Amino acid sequence: MFIENNNTIIPDLSLIQDLDKNYCLQVFNPLPVAFTKGKGCYLYDTEGKKYLDMIGGIAVNSLGHGHPKLVSAIKNQASNLIHCSNYYYIPERSALAYTLCKKSFADKAFFCNSGAEANEAAIKLARGYFHYRNEDRYEIITAKMSFHGRTLATVAATGQPKFSEPFAPVMPGFKYVEFNNYDAILEAYTPKTAAIMLELIQGESGVHPANIEYVKMVRKFCNEKGILLIIDEVQTGIGRTGTLFCYEQYGILPDIMTLAKGLAGGIPIGAMLCTDEAATGFKVGDHGSTFGGNPLACAAALAVLEAIKDDDLLVNVNENSELIMSKLYALQKKYPCIKDVRGKGLLLGIEFDETISASQMRIELFTKGFLVSSIGTSTIRIAPPLVLKKQQALSFVKALDQILKNTIPAKRSIRDLLGTNKDTSGENK
């Protein structure tokens, strides 16, 4: 039996792989490993091997694995109440809304279950805002190479055709402009423009930060034209870049902001925050979510925010970011194959030239016990837990140094690197 009578899953990798292949829709391309336990910044596989989690569930596990404050909050809430309909007041939802609004620019919050749903809410709110003002404005300007989600509306908002082409025709009303190009914004604007939607760091296209002056000019333009500025902080929010919200580093205030990923440390949650003015885009019944704002997810999010404050995790993020960046810059001088090192806080991208395959580097690091993601052909991304320790950060850089010193053989296959018959060269988005 795969599942015992006490509902314990037997940790047999080959059986797990077979069941996944036969019964799960094959939309992922996972590495040949299954994790059964996590502690701090480490994950342990079915064989007991330890891996340093330098991707943190793709910026989700903000407190790492098994953090006592988060575990306690989840256990306590689960023992009392896991779900309650939005037909009634939910104390944890009210408390989380208050906390996020007091810590940000926002006046109001809406909760859902993912970043895509948060961005869906933002798109709807922007359109609703002008509908209730009796203005025919529905177009939203987004950036090329952006990523806003995988629902039909958010793939339409995403400025990467590869995510939307299989599902055409996509939702109309989006215009795509070159990132960090203010003139392109001016050219794309029409009297039907309702909002500009931007990430401050384009994570899924290689960790590309927005220029500060560009963002300030876009904010000023939105003010002049009376349109809304939506900042997608699904990946950059909740301390990831060294401030609680990345927009704080740009000297601007958005009208709408979206959050998810690290907000509840691994429990699914999404949030859309907005000003009172922008909030007029929704009336009672215009939007909703069955599971959004449930007591369990909100209790987890409150615990994450408390830990970030009480444990000085923003200080930890900035110290480790400075350490990692300085070591990576040193490696860049040592190895010309490193083209660029970029990002903010603990959301960093390392780009290589054509002699280094990002997916191959991901596998090399995996075999040494380090988990990262690869983006495209040339960039690896790291987004470790905010609780990362300095020695752990140094061990990652040391492993990267060793790999580059030995030079990845250009014709060495990923099957050879893993010692397996399975080809796992693709990136798991």
Write out the catalytic residue numbers.
147, 232, 261
Is the separation of the CB atoms in 417 and 367 below 8 Å? yes
CA-to-CA dists, residue 400 to 64, 352, 368, angstroms: 22, 12, 10
Task: Report how far Cα 257 is from the mean position of its chain's Cα atoms.
Answer: 14
Query: What's the DSSP call for residue 114?
Result: S
Instruction: Walk across the sheet containing 379-382 and list its strands.
Output: 338-344, 347-352, 379-382, 373-375
Closest CA to 56 of 379, 348, 294, 344: 348
The two structure tokens encoding residue 60? 């989700």
Structural element, H or E, at residue 45: strand 42-45
Q: Are strands 50-53 and 139-143 parallel, antiparallel or unpaired?
A: unpaired
Structural element, H or E, at residue 359: helix 358-367
d(CA 422, CA 415): 6
Structural element, H or E, at residue 53: strand 50-53
CA-to-CA dists, residue 282 to 125, 139, 275, 285, angstroms: 6, 17, 12, 8
Q: What are phi and psi of 117, to 5 degrees?
A: -65, -35
Q: Are strands 50-53 and 370-371 parallel, antiparallel or unpaired?
A: parallel
Q: Are strands 208-209 and 201-202 parallel, antiparallel or unpaired?
A: antiparallel
Is the separation of the CB atoms in 63 and 310 below 8 Å? no
The residue to which tokens 């007591």 are assigned: 295
Closest CA to 92 of 105, 108, 73: 73
Rg (CA), the chain: 22
SS3 303: helix
Q: What are phi and psi of 350, to 5 degrees?
A: -120, 115
CA-to-CA dists, residue 242 to 56, 317, 410, angstroms: 16, 6, 37
The two structure tokens encoding residue 153? 């509306």
The two structure tokens encoding residue 236? 């950059």
